[in-house]
Amino acid sequence: MVKENDCRTFLPKTEKKEKKIVSILPEYLLEDTSCDLIVLRLPHPRTKESRLFLMPDKKSDTIFEANCINDGSRSWFINETVEENGKLVVATEMDLGLLVLPYIMESKKISPLEHILMDDGFPDLMKLNQDRIAVRLAIFCDQKGDKSLNAFKYNEEKTIEYLKKKAKKLAQHLRKENINVSHGSKSSNYISNQNGTASEEAHLRYALGIISEYIVPELSEKLHSTLGVAPDEPPLLEDVNGDSEPNSKRIKVQPIEDYSSALTNSNGKVKTPTAKEKSLATAAKGSKSITSFFKKK
């Protein structure tokens, strides 16, 4: 549980009572009751926009991105109390190397890490564990001089190779865990019932999509090109024989009085339904026509 004192940016302060934020955290953080979370404001590695991250004070070599899910009017029942704030914060562990990669790419010469990370707009960068970052950067950057200097220079070839391995490993995990990587709203049960499995390329494309959320677009394009995977192509669903599976045919079922027909204008173009139209269309499904009440029994 992240309290308001630790995460002031999520909720405004109030003198009435201490508000709480419901969050999903790794189990080991919940077990250690003495561990506090430090809230850092850092640049997102893809967009450079300000984002919130969480760092355990006893494990500074790990950092989590704080993703806030807010569905609007929602509350939480906590024990015997009702928490009006219905937001949910999901803490996702981040690769420290990818977090600072944009700064390495922008540095034109070999520089100590502490100099590379100097950014007046994001002073919290200096709170990161630089020794741990150096371990990650040594994998895909050129390190010069004594290791204690933590001096690095960007190496595109090593970086692409590192990201390729990362993408393939993630794709294998997605396939092993049977994660649905198809486009649209088809559920895992739907795929199972159709006796279909996503191809290896579909899993790799999905993995690349995840990684691309945390690297600059230019690097994402080069990574896709190196692996020969087009970023915008939807993954195909294949059956066990390797044949592409077409979209399943559905029986057309409509009520006699179809309120959803109002969603199409006279030109045949589909217009965006309003909330009221959606409500009427949903209510009409499965309902008897009003004319049925006047039939002879």
Q: Model pTM greater than 0.75?
A: no
Calculate the average pLDDT of the chain.
76
Per-residue model confidence as pLDDT tens digits over 77-107: 888 888 888 888 899 999 999 999 999 999 8
Q: How many CB atoms lie within 10 A of CB 1?
A: 12
Q: Which fold has domain 1-94?
A: N-terminal domain of TfIIb (2.20.25)
For the chain, the domains span 1-94, 96-154, 156-239
291 pLDDT exceeds 70? no
| Residues 85/11, Cβ–Cβ less than 8 Å | yes
Average pLDDT over residues 162-183: 91
The residue that leads in pLDDT, 151 or 286, is 151
The residue that leads in pLDDT, 279 or 52, is 52
Q: CA 162 to CA 101: how far, in whole Å?
A: 12
Least confident of 60-64, 73-77, 144-148, 293-297: 293-297
Q: CA 274 to CA 284: how far, in whole Å?
A: 15
Per-residue model confidence as pLDDT tens digits over 206-225: 999 999 999 999 999 999 99
Average pLDDT over residues 39-46: 96
Q: CA 122 to CA 40: how far, in whole Å?
A: 9
β-bridge partners, 40: 53
Q: How many CB atoms lie within 10 A of CB 70?
A: 11
Which structure tokens are listed for 9? Answer: 């940016």
261 pLDDT exceeds 60? no
Name the band, by pLDDT with cuts 50, 70 and 90, for residue 13. Answer: very low
DSSP SS3 for 64: strand
Q: CA 170 to CA 247: how far, in whole Å?
A: 27
Name the band, by pLDDT with cuts 50, 70 and 90, for residue 287. Answer: low
Q: Is 266 exposed, middle or buried (0-12, 13-18, 19+ CB in 10 A)?
A: exposed
